[in-house]
């Protein structure tokens, strides 16, 4: 019976993953919404995005921006209402997730957000207005190889699966952790030791506490990660899979390994980071970057990979202003990523976004951890590991903890293996709590998307000057909240000898007068009359940035015509979109 194989062959979609994800039908509910009852593999996410792109063809574009280390397509979904203009002509909001392999919630938030936008595209006024005027670029699986390794195997890793010799013995990835007891989880090993630093809590011996916090007579242990010493160097699990941290691999303020472990051999050495920078360079309409990580239950803001003293104070005020809505809606704090004058991260994505593109970015660390989502069962005013066990036992049948079990270890002798499943009880929430975590992130994204600059051009006004000459006046206005240069950094450029500011980080808006009939005899950027006129940046409703103060400007051309003619104006702003007036006729 070959029907299954035949169907699979016919149904294999453009991105070429096998329909092993035969559970595709379970991934979307009947109404097209995505189920968040489990964490999704990249195959599932790509299949969902493909299904949604077929369900909402007028709102979506699905493209691959490159391939991962293992050759998986890196998919980005563009969402906007194409009836009101192409995505590239609207200010854009960029959201990704999962650059760090085990930070699976970041991918789920991005997936949830794209589903939310599409499901609410008809009946939600806020979403409808945003899709009419803004674009969203959403990339749930920044690092498909790493996230699938975490989901499908007992292994974990920081970022890409690209092998690295982390212990400098000439061999890469030779001493990962092992699931010795075969329960599917790499947990911990404990071995009874009179001098061991950790001891069993008398009331619940599953719990290990520091020796100084236990009464005399407790059983104490040496504790190791679960595994064997594969390379006989006396250490367990010190050279696992991978070792590069892709969020240290971006080109702005990159540093080599001795200052920044995990940075890679050179900036953008990884295909996933190189694809990201290419994408951002090619999409100059991106006005915000939200780079989704997990865990902690807060958001990192700029500055990130640079000393705080270098950071513009006006921009800091603007970032606080843009961040406030997140704390209001989630109750979670926004904290600076860099606070020390010299000790800071290097080569992060949001640093690249700010210094190279003038764009504000954030790193949300989703999922606050068990301290926040476990109820205080014993009512002592704090959530301790005892409460974790009470909740895990009652709500989840104990499924997120492997009970300590005796094991005859080849190197250590008798040990016990057990502990929390940190992937889903710590770093990520249990799948049962995933939906509650992801849905609370969306209001801030919509809020940010609505705060971009948004340029509009009025119909040209034609005024007769005599002698077949006409003055054509065009008024351009920024209706958005932020200035067209977004930030003070965006306004920076090079001063020429005659005092002009050129090569600004964010290019200034350009107004173009299209004409049929007639000749332009004055106006334009250069010494000769021309249709193209560069204007200064325009302020937005938000007064925090002060490089410019005018929200609108009127520019003029002189057109000579002995007969009828027609004109229309177009304004192009890198971050504020493209807008065209109607045609205006004379005679
Ligand atoms: Zn991270």
Which residue did the predictor score with more confidence, 76 or 237? Answer: 76
Using DSSP, how many helices (H) and how many strands (E) does the chain show? 14, 26
**Residue 580 in tokens:** 């065209």
Q: What pLDDT sits at residue 95?
A: 98
Considering the entire predicted model, what is its pTM? 0.94
Spacing, Cα 293 to ligand 1 middle (Å): 4
Spacing, Cα 322 to ligand 1 middle (Å): 22
**Residue 482 in tokens:** 């932020």
- Whether 236 shows a pLDDT value over 70: the answer reads yes
Identify the CA nearest to 356 among candidates 214, 256, 506, 475. Answer: 506
- Whether 114 shows a pLDDT value over 60: the answer reads yes
What is the C-alpha separation between 394 and 388, in angstroms, rounded? 10
- Whether 77 shows a pLDDT value over 50: the answer reads yes
Q: What distance separates the 2 farthest-apart alpha carbons in the chain? A: 107
Q: What pLDDT sits at residue 19?
A: 44
Q: Which residues contact 427 (CB under 8 A, 6 or more apart)?
A: 102, 103, 104, 294, 295, 367
What is the C-alpha separation between 403 and 401, in angstroms, rounded? 6
Identify the CA nearest to 474 among candidates 539, 529, 523. Answer: 523
Spacing, Cα 305 to ligand 1 middle (Å): 14
CB-CB contact of 352 with 251 (8 Å) = yes
- Whether 310 shows a pLDDT value over 60: the answer reads yes
What is the C-alpha separation between 365 and 81, in angstroms, rounded? 30
Identify the CA nearest to 361 among candidates 333, 339, 334. Answer: 334
Spacing, Cα 477 to ligand 1 middle (Å): 39
pLDDT tens-digit map of 320-362: 999 999 999 999 999 999 989 888 999 999 999 999 999 999 9
DSSP-assigned letters across all residues of 553-585? EEEEEEEE-SS-EEEEEEEEETTTEEEEPPPEE
**Residue 507 in tokens:** 């290019």
Q: What pLDDT sits at residue 93?
A: 98
**Residue 65 in tokens:** 């921006």
Spacing, Cα 45 to ligand 1 middle (Å): 20
Spacing, Cα 367 to ligand 1 middle (Å): 12
Q: What pLDDT sits at residue 5?
A: 38
Spacing, Cα 103 to ligand 1 middle (Å): 6
Spacing, Cα 391 to ligand 1 middle (Å): 27
What is the C-alpha separation between 267 and 276, in angstroms, rounded? 12
Spacing, Cα 10 to ligand 1 middle (Å): 38
Average pLDDT over residues 106-113: 98
3-state secondary structure of 76: strand
- Residue 550 backbone dihedrals phi, psi, to 5 degrees: -80, 135
Spacing, Cα 474 to ligand 1 middle (Å): 47
| Count of alpha carbons within 13 angstroms of residue 486, beta-carbon side | 33
> How confident is the prediction for the chain on average, in pLDDT?
93
- Whether 41 shows a pLDDT value over 90: the answer reads yes
Per-residue H/E/C for 2-60: CHHHHHHHHHCCCCCCCCCCCCHHHHECCCCCECCCCCCCHHHHHHHHHHHHHHCCCCE
Spacing, Cα 61 to ligand 1 middle (Å): 27
Spacing, Cα 288 to ligand 1 middle (Å): 18
Helix (H) or strand (E) holding 63: strand 60-67
- Whether 22 shows a pLDDT value over 80: the answer reads no
Q: What pLDDT sits at residue 2?
A: 35
Spacing, Cα 295 to ligand 1 middle (Å): 7
Spacing, Cα 300 to ligand 1 middle (Å): 11
Spacing, Cα 101 to ligand 1 middle (Å): 8
Average pLDDT over residues 429-456: 98
To which residue do tokens 């294999």 refer? 12
397 Rama class: left (phi>0) / alpha (psi -120 to 50) / beta: left
Spacing, Cα 168 to ligand 1 middle (Å): 24
Spacing, Cα 33 to ligand 1 middle (Å): 27
Eight-state DSSP code of residue 427: I
What is the C-alpha separation between 185 and 402, in angstroms, rounded? 8
Spacing, Cα 247 to ligand 1 middle (Å): 8
| Helix 104-119 vs helix 42-55: crossing angle, to nearest 10 | 10
Query: Which of the residue ranges 22-31, 195-204, 511-520 would you say has the lowest mean pLDDT?
Result: 22-31
Q: What percent of the chain has pLDDT over 90?
A: 89
Q: What is the pairing mode between strands 401-409 and 413-420? A: antiparallel
Spacing, Cα 352 to ligand 1 middle (Å): 16
Identify the CA nearest to 51 among candidates 83, 19, 82. Answer: 19
Give 559's strand partners. Answer: 470, 520
Q: What pLDDT sits at residue 341?
A: 87
Position 25 confidence tier, pLDDT thresholds 50, 70, 90: low
- Whether 21 shows a pLDDT value over 50: the answer reads no
What is the C-alpha separation between 141 and 101, in angstroms, rounded? 9
To which residue do tokens 């304004």 refer? 571
Spacing, Cα 238 to ligand 1 middle (Å): 20
Spacing, Cα 95 to ligand 1 middle (Å): 14
Q: Which residues contact 194 (CB under 8 A, 6 or more apart)?
A: 220
- Residue 288 backbone dihedrals phi, psi, to 5 degrees: -140, 145
Spacing, Cα 574 to ligand 1 middle (Å): 30
What is the C-alpha separation between 385 and 426, in angstroms, rounded? 12
Spacing, Cα 144 to ligand 1 middle (Å): 15
CB-CB contact of 557 with 524 (8 Å) = yes
Spacing, Cα 79 to ligand 1 middle (Å): 25
Average pLDDT over residues 292-306: 96
Spacing, Cα 327 to ligand 1 middle (Å): 20
CB-CB contact of 455 with 322 (8 Å) = no
Position 24 confidence tier, pLDDT thresholds 50, 70, 90: low
Instruction: Report the chain's terminal Cα–Cα distance, integer Å.
Output: 75
Spacing, Cα 553 to ligand 1 middle (Å): 43
Distance of alpha carbon 32 from its chain centroid, rounded? 24
């Amino acid at each position: 019976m070959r029907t299954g194989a035949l169907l699979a062959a016919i149904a294999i979609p453009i991105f070429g993953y096998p329909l092993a994800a035969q559970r595709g039908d379970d991934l979307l509910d009947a109404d097209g919404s995505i189920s968040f009852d489990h964490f999704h593999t990249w195959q599932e996410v790509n299949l969902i995005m493909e299904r949604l792109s077929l369900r909402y063809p007028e709102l979506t574009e699905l493209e691959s921006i490159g391939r991962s280390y293992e050759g998986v397509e890196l998919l980005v979904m563009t969402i906007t209402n194409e009836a009101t203009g192409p995505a590239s002509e609207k200010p854009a909001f960029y959201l990704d997730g999962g650059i760090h392999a085990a930070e699976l919630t970041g991918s789920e938030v991005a997936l949830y957000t794209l589903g939310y936008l599409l499901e609410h595209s008809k009946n939600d006024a806020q979403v409808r207005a945003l899709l009419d005027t803004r674009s969203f670029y959403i990339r749930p699986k920044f690092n498909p190889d790493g996230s699938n390794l975490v989901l499908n195997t007992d292994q974990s890793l920081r970022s890409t699966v690209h092998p690295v010799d982390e212990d400098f013995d000439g061999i890469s990835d030779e001493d990962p952790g092992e699931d010795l007891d075969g329960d599917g989880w790499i947990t911990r090993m404990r071995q009874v030791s009179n001098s061991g630093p950790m001891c069993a809590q008398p009331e619940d011996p599953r719990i290990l506490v520091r020796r100084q916090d236990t009464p005399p007579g407790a059983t104490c242990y040496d504790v190791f990660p679960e595994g064997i010493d594969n390379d006989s160097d006396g250490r367990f699990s010190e050279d696992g899979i991978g070792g590069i941290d892709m969020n240290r691999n971006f080109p702005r303020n990159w540093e080599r390994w001795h200052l920044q472990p995990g940075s890679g051999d050179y900036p953008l050495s990884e295909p996933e980071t190189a694809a990201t920078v290419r994408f951002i360079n090619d999409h100059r309409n991106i006005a915000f970057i939200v780079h989704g990580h997990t865990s902690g239950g807060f958001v990192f803001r700029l500055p990130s990979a640079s000393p705080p003293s270098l950071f513009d104070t006006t921009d800091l005020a603007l970032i606080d202003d843009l961040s406030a809505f997140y704390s209001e809606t989630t109750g979670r704090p926004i904290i600076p990523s860099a606070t020390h004058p010299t000790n800071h991260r290097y080569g992060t994505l949001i640093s690249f976004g700010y210094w190279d593109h003038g764009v504000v970015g954030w790193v949300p660390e989703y999922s606050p951890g068990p301290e926040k989502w476990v109820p205080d069962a014993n009512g002592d005013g704090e959530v301790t590991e005892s409460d974790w066990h009470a909740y895990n036992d009652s709500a989840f049948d104990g499924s997120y903890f492997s009970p300590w079990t005796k094991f005859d270890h080849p190197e250590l002798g008798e040990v016990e293996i057990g502990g929390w499943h940190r992937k889903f009880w710590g770093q990520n929430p249990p799948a049962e709590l995933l939906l509650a975590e992801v849905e609370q992130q969306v209001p801030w994204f919509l809020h940010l998307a609505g705060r971009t600059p948004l340029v509009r051009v009025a119909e040209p006004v034609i005024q007769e000057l005599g002698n077949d000459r006409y003055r054509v006046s065009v008024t351009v206005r920024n209706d958005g909240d932020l200035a067209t240069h977004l930030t003070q950094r965006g306004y920076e450029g090079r001063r020429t000898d005659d005092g002009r500011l050129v090569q600004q980080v964010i290019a200034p808006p350009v107004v173009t007068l299209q004409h049929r009939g007639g000749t332009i005899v004055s106006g334009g950027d250069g010494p000769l009359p021309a249709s193209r006129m560069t204007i200064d940046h325009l302020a937005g409703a938000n007064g925090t940035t002060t490089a410019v103060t005018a929200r609108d400007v009127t520019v003029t051309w002189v057109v000579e015509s002995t007969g009828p003619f027609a004109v229309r104006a177009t304004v192009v702003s890198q971050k504020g979109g493209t807008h065209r007036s109607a045609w205006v006729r004379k005679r």
